[in-house]
Structure 1
Amino acid sequence: MTNKEINSMTYREATRELEEILRAIENDSVDVDELTLKVQRSSQLIKLCKDKLRSAELAIDQVFNEEKCEEPQKPGQPTNQGNGKLF
């Protein structure tokens, strides 16, 4: 599969293919010669998934910023509880 074809995959398609590769490796149905190709393909798919997740996060952050909503709470940040404000 070319880079263009990989980039046109959806997140769901990529994760589905990753799951298939994982099952094949777990079931020992991948020989050593094919293993290298599967690992390389997995690396490409993981990168695609990470890029799609980052893109979605940026788009969501942009919506919050455009709507002048409060930024989403980051894990580990203290909340504004007890200050009398709802938002």
Structure 2
Amino acid sequence: MTTKDIHNMTYREATQELEEILRAIENDAVDVDELTQKVQRSSQLIKLCKEKLRNAENAINQVFNEENCDTSKNNTDETPNGRLF
């Protein structure tokens, strides 16, 4: 597989490349000279995946926080403590 610039990769592409690297290592298809490169690339891909997951989590939390604020404003007179349940 041609290595794609890590900054232009999607989460799916990064995880697929990680799986390919893992399969190659498990099948002894990587010689010692390549192993260091594969491990370094894997580290970069893992960092990218973690960053993308954190960004997604932050975006989702922001949506929920905004929704909770809107719900609290709209329901404060209807429910005790502004809670739905």
Which TM-score applies when normalising by structure 1? 0.74
Compute the RMSD of aligned alpha carbons: 1.7
Rg bigger for which structure? 2
What's the counterpart of residue 74 of structure 1?
Answer: none
Hey, what's the Cα distance between the residues in 1 that align with 2:26 and 2:13?
A: 20
What's the counterpart of residue 39 of structure 1?
Answer: 39
Structure 2 alignment gaps of length 5 or more: 70-82
What's the counterpart of residue 28 of structure 1?
Answer: 28
Hey, what's the Cα distance between the residues in 2 that align with 1:33 and 1:20?
A: 17
What's the counterpart of residue 64 of structure 1?
Answer: 64
How many residues are paired up?
A: 70
Hey, what's the Cα distance between the residues in 2 that align with 1:67 and 1:46?
A: 31
Q: Point out the structure with the larger helix share.
A: 2
Percent identity, please.
Answer: 80
Hey, what's the Cα distance between the residues in 1 that align with 2:19 and 2:65?
A: 35
Structure 1 alignment gaps of length 5 or more: 70-84
Moved over 3 A (4+): none
